[in-house]
Structure 1
Amino acid sequence: MLLGFVEPKFVSCTSLESEMRKVCFLLLPMLLGSCASVGEISQKQPYAALDSSKPASLLAECIRDTWQNTKFGGTAVAAQLQKSGESYLVLAPAGATPVEVAKISSGTVSLHFAGGIFEWRKQKRLESVKACL
């Protein structure tokens, strides 16, 4: 004991590194398994399906722009617009994977989400899509 304090006990760095490797090894398959592709997300049952009389291109641009201006936690997410044949996809990524997909074709918009999205966030996205109809 030094000046009334308990001397610290040190743990070997090699044992900590070994434990961290084990944890990372166990978590990696779960993290990779939870990433869904755009195709997988858009094949799910839609959260909402809406009709519109606007051309698909104008509707897609409006949804993209609205999503880019919608803030969650003080920051906006950069939405992306992709064209596939006569239909469009608006994607809102979280990191490297898309979590929100608006599928737009002539006269219809379907809204799809990856798992784990809060209901309030889904409702906010739905409101922004409705504003574009």
Structure 2
Amino acid sequence: MRILMVALAVTLLAGCAGSVMSDARSKPPYKTLNSDKPEKDVAQCVQFSWQDEAVFGVDASGYLQPGEKGGTTVYTRSAESFVDVTTNASGTVLSYYAQHDDFVAKRRLAALATCL
């Protein structure tokens, strides 16, 4: 029963986050970064860094899902911040999106940058 409730909660969270992400992707990213590391390693690093409660407190969250056009998307609750991690000919590209240009968005960007 608990597994069913968790699965339902994750499904609802992904559905809400999906529409927010689609809206954000219709505009240019907040920041685009590049890395020489493999896409999977970068995505896992970002997820881990965004889950650091010492840095983000109760807002510490990081979820992985397959990217809309390949790669991986790492996102927070309600998709307040998310990053599309993809691979191209020059390496790994990170397209970072934030709903608000505030302290939290900048802190998430800084945490993301440690994974490059």
1:126 corresponds in structure 2 to 109
What CA distance in whole angstroms lies between the structure 1 residues aligned with 2:76 and 2:27?
A: 16
Aligned 8 A contact 1:41 1:101 in 2: no
**Distance of aligned partners of 1:83 and 1:132 in 2 relative to their CA distance in 1, 3 Å threshold:** same
| TM-fit CA distance, 1:86 | 3.4
Could you tell me which amino acid in structure 2 is paired with residue 109 of structure 1?
Answer: L
Q: 2:75 aligns with which of 83, 91, 115?
A: 91
The higher-RCO structure (CA 8 Å, 6+ apart) is 2
Structure 1 stretches of at least 4 aligned residues deviating more than 6 Å after TM superposition: none
1:22 corresponds in structure 2 to none
What CA distance in whole angstroms lies between the structure 2 residues aligned with 1:118 and 1:112?
A: 10
1:50-89 aligned within 5 A: 50-70=33-53, 71-72=55-56, 74-84=57-67, 86-89=70-73
| TM-fit CA distance, 1:118 | 4.7
2:93 corresponds in structure 1 to 108
TM-score (norm: length of structure 2): 0.70
Could you tell me which amino acid in structure 2 is paired with residue 90 of structure 1?
Answer: V
Residue identity (%): 23
1:40 corresponds in structure 2 to 23
CA offsets, 1:31-58, max 9 Å, x none?
xxxxx52222233211110010011111
Q: Which runs of 5+ in 2 are unaligned?
A: 1-18
Q: Which runs of 5+ in 1 are unaligned?
A: 1-35
TM-score (norm: length of structure 1): 0.62
Please state which structure has a larger fraction of its residues in helix. Answer: 2
